[in-house]
Structure 1
Amino acid sequence: MKSIAFTDFRKKASDLITEVEHGETLVLLRRGKPVAEVIPFSDKAPRSPAWKQPGIRLRIRGSDLSSAILEERETTP
C-alpha cells in the first residue's frame, strides 16, 4: 500500500494508475489525512460478511419440533 498526497496524484495520475493496474493500492492524502483509497478493479461479486448470510435451517418430516417437545412434556410425569 502506497500513500500519496492528492496534489502529487494529480501530477502523476497516469503513472500511478498504471501501478494500480499492476496490483498496487494507493491511499490519497489531503492535508496529511487519508481521504480515498484507489484499489485494483475486481469483477468478482462482493461477498457479504458471514454474519449477514442466512443460517442453516433444519427441517423434520412429520410434526414440527416444537410440537414434538410439547407432546413429550405432556406425556412425561
Structure 2
Amino acid sequence: MSTVSLTQLRSEAASMFGRVQRGETLVVLRHGRPIAEISPVAASTPSWKKPALRLVAKGAALSRAILQEREDEDLF
C-alpha cells in the first residue's frame, strides 16, 4: 500500500491508475491525512463460489461393496 498526495494524484493520474491496475492499493492524502483508498476491483467470482475440484476415491465403489457384502451373507 502506497501513499500519494492529492496534488500528485491529479498530476500523475494515468501512472497512478496504472499502478492500481497492476494490483497496488493507493492511499490518497490531503494535508497529510488519508481521505481515500484506491484499490483494484475484486474478481467477479469470489473464490468461495468457484466450483471445487472433484475428489475421486480409489478402490471399489461403496454400492458395489455393499452389494458384495449382501451376496456373501446370503451364501451362509
Please give the TM-score of this superposition, normalised by the length of structure 2: 0.56
Deviation beyond 6 Å, 4+ runs, structure 1: none
Q: Which has the larger radius of gyration?
A: 2
Could you tell me how far apart the structure 2 residues matched to 1:10 and 1:32 are?
16
Q: What residue ranges of structure 2 are gaps of 5+ in the alignment?
A: 47-76
d(CA) in 1 for partners of 2:45, 2:27: 22
- Structure 2 CA distance for partners of 1:38 and 1:44, relative to 1, 3 Å: farther
**Secondary structure, counterpart of 2:24 in structure 1:** coil
State percent identity of aligned pairs: 38
The answer for unaligned runs of 5 or more in structure 1 is 46-77
Q: Residue in 1 aligned with 2:30? A: 30
* Correspondence for 1:56: none
